[in-house]
Amino acid sequence: MINLIGTYECKVDAKGRMMVPSALKKQLAPAMQHGFVIKRSVFQNCLELYPMDQWNGLMAKMNKLNRFKKKNNDFIRKFTAGVKTVEVDTNGRLLIPRDLVGFAGIEKEIVLSSAINIVEIWDKDKYEQSLEDSPEDFAELAEEVMGNDDFDFDGVS
């Protein structure tokens, strides 16, 4: 299981290429040889970059869904819409496909934000807005999501 750390700002060129920051590249080193999957986020106008092993684990779970249920089939179709495999080239760049650049509204400056085992790729302005415009109070959200008495934290707070 990979646990990524950090938020990084970088630029995208006119062709959709971005230089992967060296600190992130070090964390992703074990995954570099297998490549990545990039896709639209379900909840936000950002992209998600999955190391291939993380993607394969997710697909193994999704493959257990009964495809004779319409809602499962619809979910799979929408979840995998626009999915592409990508690799970091020898110069340390990753090419973001043009259709996904459009979906995320990426202009020039982007933010790469670790989200446990994946990386979210945001247009910088949209990322800042998502942090400022959260409809819920974060303290209440944290309590609701993580405050479950049954959740075992091993003393972590």
Phi, psi at 38, each rounded to 5° = -120, 140
Determine the pLDDT at residue 151.
57
Determine the pLDDT at residue 141.
75
Angle CA 76–82–86, to nearest 5: 115
Instruction: Per residue of the chain (157 residues), give pLDDT as tens.
Output: 689 999 999 999 999 999 999 999 999 998 999 999 999 999 999 999 999 999 999 999 999 999 999 999 999 999 999 999 999 999 999 999 999 999 999 999 999 999 999 999 999 999 998 888 665 677 777 778 888 766 555 555 5
- How many Å apart are CA 104 and CA 52, to the nearest integer? 21
What is the reported pTM? 0.87
Domain range 7-146, its CATH number among 3.40.1550.20, 3.90.1150.10, 1.20.1250.20, 3.50.50.60: 3.40.1550.20
